[in-house]
């Protein structure tokens, strides 16, 4: 009996390990395009720099469409919670932008104000419904997002995220 149960457990384990890992990787990415690290660093630095120049100590995060952190940059004098908010803003755009057809988190947040399902969406782990992130697109496809947290208002965070995107946009494949 024990041997039969053991064989069944091993068989199930082998079956699960044989499943392709790609099914769980990126829900929305359709090509192999990605944002390289050099451009991610440059975009995050510019976002933090622009906010700092305006007197807003922030953090910036760059997240890919699988929800992985590509880069996390804590600006000088930014508070600890900015790490989480910048990540969650970028994560929301990177993982939901293609599904709900938005490339700026502030736009989606405004649309959701009249949506009775907004609270359900906000309850998804990692999602945050505060402005402050923009999508990075290659050939029209979202491949990452830049999120910023720490300015006095999500709209200001989003301005800085957009400045980061603008810094690298001309070097993204069209």
Ordered by where they begin, the domains of the chain are: 26-171 (3.30.450.150)
Specify the pLDDT at position 28. 57
pTM of the model: 0.83
CA 142/CA 108 separation, integer angstroms: 15
Q: How confident is the model at residue 32 (pLDDT cuts 50, 70, 90)?
A: confident
**Residue 94 token pair:** 């990177």
Lowest-confidence segment of 18-22, 50-54, 98-102, 152-156 by average pLDDT: 18-22
CA 130 – CA 46 distance, rounded (Å)? 21
What is the average pLDDT score of the chain?
Answer: 87
Nearest C-alpha neighbor of 163 from the set 144, 150, 146 = 146
| Contacts within 8 Å (CB) and 24+ apart, 162-167 | 162/104, 162/134, 163/46, 163/47, 163/50, 164/42, 164/43, 164/44, 164/45, 164/46, 164/47, 164/50, 164/60, 164/134, 165/43, 165/134, 165/136, 166/46, 167/42, 167/43, 167/46
pLDDT in tens, 91-146: 999 999 999 999 999 999 999 999 999 999 999 999 999 999 999 999 999 999 99
Over its C-alpha atoms, the chain yields an Rg (Å, rounded) of 19
């Amino acid at each position: 009996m024990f041997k039969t149960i053991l064989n069944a457990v091993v068989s199930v384990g082998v079956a699960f390990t044989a499943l392709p890992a790609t099914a769980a990787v990126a829900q929305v990415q359709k090509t192999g395009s990605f944002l390289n690290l050099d451009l991610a660093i440059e975009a995050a630095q510019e976002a933090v720099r622009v906010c700092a120049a305006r007197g807003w100590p922030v953090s910036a995060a760059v997240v890919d469409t699988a929800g992985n952190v590509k880069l996390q940059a804590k600006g000088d004098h930014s508070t600890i919670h900015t790490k989480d908010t910048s990540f969650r803003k970028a994560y929301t755009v990177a993982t939901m932008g293609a599904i709900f057809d938005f490339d700026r988190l502030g736009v989606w947040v405004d649309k959701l104000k009249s949506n009775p399902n907004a609270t359900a969406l906000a309850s998804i782990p990692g999602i945050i419904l505060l402005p402050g992130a923009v999508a990075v697109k290659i050939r029209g496809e979202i491949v990452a997002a830049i999120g910023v947290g720490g300015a006095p208002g999500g709209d200001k965070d989003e301005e800085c995220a957009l400045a980061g995107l603008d810094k690298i946009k001309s070097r993204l494949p069209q």
